[in-house]
Amino acid sequence: MTIEELKNKLKYSFSPYSHVQVACCAIEENGKEYWGVNTENAAFPSGLCAERSALFGSVAYGARVGNFKEIHIISNLSKLLYPCGACAQVISQFLKLDGDVYLYSFDLKQQKHYKMKDILPFAVASKDIVD
């Protein structure tokens, strides 16, 4: 994945309501890349963020939940757009514990790198839902 490829994916976003385009590339430990864009819907709650689009879609292509090493997120905004709470939770289960989260503003003037645990320190894990 290159930043230009990531930026280029923004054009596939379906965001006629918010006009906020988001693109994401999630990369498995083996280097395999999975892409997603936000896809809005006239029934608003039915839309889906770029991050969950990429990650949920990856499962049908053989990706293993918990086997991702990094995720890259860009938007068409001039500031960084952090993953929403729902996506942060999902990312936490797809990424390895020390997984990397990279954020980019559209003009690339702002770029941040986080560890997943910094994005959502109290994520719910599989071990948390058994007594």
Residues that bind Zn ion (CB under 5 A): 49, 84, 87
Whether residue 51 lies in the annotated active site: yes
Alpha carbon separation from 104 to 4, 14, 30, 73, 81 (Å, rounded): 11, 19, 23, 6, 8
Separation CA 120–CA 117 (nearest Å): 5
Cα–Cα distance for residue pair 26/126, rounded to 1 Å: 21
**Comparison of 30 and 44: residue with beta carbon closer to Zn ion:** 44
Q: What is the largest CA-CA distance in the chain?
A: 47
List the structure tokens of 115: 């560890």
Catalytic residue among 5, 29, 40, 51: 51
Evaluate whether 28 touches 68 at the Cβ level (below 8 Å): yes
Shortest Å, Cβ 56 to Zn ion: 11
CB of 86 to Zn ion, least distance (A): 5
Measured CA to CA, the distance from residue 27 to residue 29 in angstroms comes to 7
Least distance from C-beta 73 to Zn ion, angstroms? 9
User: Is 31 or 57 the residue whose CB approaches Zn ion more closely?
Assistant: 57
Active-site residues: which are they?
Answer: 51
